[in-house]
Amino acid sequence: MIAVLGGLGAALCWATGTVSAARASRLVGARSVLNWVMIVGFVVTAPIAAASGVPDGLHARELGWFCVSGAGNVAGLLLGYEAMRVGKVSIVAPITSTEGAIAAVLAVAAGEALDIPSAVLLGAIAIGVVLASLTRATGGHTLRSTLLAACAAASFGASLFATAKVSNALPLVWAVIPP
């Protein structure tokens, strides 16, 4: 029962955040929303990171993943906010949420093993998202917003993959501060 309530709570938070981001993007623009999200996120996480000190595991390789993680997330947010500004949230949100599948594909390309059931499930998810995004450009949705959402998903996927790479060497707060 706790898992179900936790899942419902997470879904509610995700949906609220998505609808709020879409509304804010339409009101003040994608760049303004991104700026405020980054400012608030930094104000919340920077003091915690500073209090924990610079970790011993922070070397050139980790800094590279650190940069990919942050750049991928910032680009993904900007592209996602712009997609929601010009398109239907009901189509943009599922496309951008494929970030985990993209990170999994990147992990497999980097040498991680993936079992057959997981590969089939990832394929089914990809097919479902493509089918869901196939719509006529009516009612406020455009091909541009679909392409922006797909690029956002790719950016988020790269960020997620990079965060996983750097999280092995750094404390949690340092792994999440770039995004």
Backbone angles phi, psi at 169, to 5 degrees: -105, -15
Look at residue 160 in the predicted model and tell me its pLDDT.
93
Look at residue 171 in the predicted model and tell me its pLDDT.
81
3-state helix, strand and coil shares in percent for the chain, rounded to the nearest 5: 80, 0, 20
Distance CA 148, CA 76 (A): 9
* Domain residue ranges of the chain, discontinuous segments joined by +: 10-176
Look at residue 50 in the predicted model and tell me its pLDDT.
87
95 and 151 in contact (C-beta within 8 Å)?
A: no
Query: What is the DSSP-derived secondary structure letter of residue 177?
Result: S
pTM: 0.86
Q: Give 143-176 pLDDT, tens digit per residue.
A: 889 899 999 999 999 999 999 888 877 888 887 7
91 and 173 in contact (C-beta within 8 Å)?
A: no
Mean pLDDT in the chain? 88
Distance CA 150, CA 13 (A): 22
Does the pLDDT value for residue 140 go beyond 90? no
Q: Which one is predicted more confidently, 139 or 86?
A: 86
Distance CA 15, CA 5 (A): 15
